[in-house]
Amino acid sequence: MANEGMDRRSFLKLGGLIAAASAAMPASQLLVTSTMASSGSSKNSIQYAMTVDLNKCDGCKVCEQACREENNVPDLEAYYGEDAKRYTPFWLRVAEMKQEINGAETEERPIVLLCQHCEKPPCVHVCPTQASFRREKDGIVLIDEHRCIGCRYCVIACPYRMRTIVFRENPIPPEDQNTKVPAMMNGVATKCTFCAHKDLEGGEKPACVEKCPMGALKFGNRMERREDVTRMIADGQTLTLRPNLEVGPNVFYLGLSKNEGAIEKVLG
């Protein structure tokens, strides 16, 4: 689907397909082995990916805070109170989920959610201004804030609910912001970038990976056989979210059960 040809009817059709697939698909089928979920058909020598080992994650949310500090993402609830929670932007969040096994729900446990940096990102297809794009050299999905008009098409199209719109001016003082990251603009879409401002090719990692005290997050080039993420994905023990949509997510989870019963509620 070409961006130039995206009209209202096409957008509504795509949205309907996504909604129908999500509603009709049993929750237990939202997760499959990574080898089935993504073809890894990148033509380039770099395709960045992340693995999240939920067996190691204890829900401490250090990754959330590290992401906010590194990327100047304000916690508006902390600044303006509980009423600001509904429009607080985020790039990464730790949600609580339950598993359903043999008809019984287990205790809640954390799951780390962020942009999945899809190989076929719906957000890119629906963007009327081409503000959303997939960077060819490494597969990272980004947003050109100067092109974004805040139409929210991408927010609706994202099957992982990992985009938000900035509704308030950033209250973080300029002197406390990371100057390597562009200031967040009001009225536009925002999301995780895998810390694309860093020297990823030189070995730097996203802030969430660097700061995770449990070593639950791994990051690397999945086209390179020596990378930890490549070996973990190749083992066939990782799962991806909503593979039925065939968008090729590049975030892979260890420790999830195929009997996952509440992932629909987690993703919203």
The model's pLDDT over 103-114, given as tens digits with 9 standing for 90+, comes to 667 678 899 999
Beta carbons within 8 Å of 146's beta carbon, 6+ residues apart: 131
CATH of domain 3-267: 3.30.70.20
Q: Where are the domains of the chain?
A: 3-267
Residue 168 tokens, joined: 């308030």
Identify whether the C-beta of residue 215 lies closer than 8 Å to the C-beta of residue 15.
no
**Phi/psi at 72 (5° precision):** 60, 40
What is the model's pTM?
A: 0.81
Beta carbons within 8 Å of 141's beta carbon, 6+ residues apart: 115, 117, 118, 121, 123, 124, 132, 133, 134, 135, 191
Name the band, by pLDDT with cuts 50, 70 and 90, for residue 143: very high
Name the band, by pLDDT with cuts 50, 70 and 90, for residue 197: very high
Beta carbons within 8 Å of 38's beta carbon, 6+ residues apart: 119, 240, 243, 248, 249, 250
Show the DSSP H helices in the chain as ranges: 8-24, 34-37, 62-71, 76-80, 122-126, 153-157, 207-211, 228-234, 263-267
Pick the closest to residue 126 from 217, 36, 6 (CA basis): 6
The answer to whether residue 33 scores a pLDDT higher than 60 is no
Alpha carbons 163 and 64: distance in angstroms, whole number: 15
Alpha carbons 164 and 189: distance in angstroms, whole number: 6
The answer to whether residue 101 scores a pLDDT higher than 80 is no
Q: What pLDDT is stored for residue 43 in this prediction? A: 62
The answer to whether residue 128 scores a pLDDT higher than 90 is yes
Place of tokens 């979210």: 241
Beta carbons within 8 Å of 31's beta carbon, 6+ residues apart: 239, 240, 241, 243, 253, 256, 257, 258, 260, 263
